[in-house]
Structure 1
Amino acid sequence: MSSINEEFFKKYLRVLKLARTPTRDEFTKIAIVAAIGVLIIGLLGFIIYVIMTAPMH
């Protein structure tokens, strides 16, 4: 069991060593794309809500 934890810890440290803080430009682009995705999913959910709760005549 400890060898599995040790192996996982080594892989985790390797990823952390390779990772770096994004530049301001990279962060801005990622934030914009994420915001657009949230808006699209929210709009889709709202459209489904309106369709499902529309009064039937």
Structure 2
Amino acid sequence: MIAARCDGKIFAPFTVEGACNRLVFETWLEHCLIPLLTPGKTLVMDNAAFHK
């Protein structure tokens, strides 16, 4: 599952069976998250070791 968090709430959830690869992430970003972002919002992504 991939999702975003804003103001303590989860939104743009996306469930996929199997591993999250580049194609899955880019699809979620383009079709689920970006359409919901409003002007002035900032997207912060991390590359934490526990995600690998």
Q: Same fold (TM over 0.5)?
A: no
Higher helix share: 1
Query: Which structure has greater strand proportion?
Result: 2
- TM-score, normalised to structure 2, is 0.28
Q: Which has the higher contact order (CA 8 A, sep 6+)?
A: 2
Larger Rg: 1
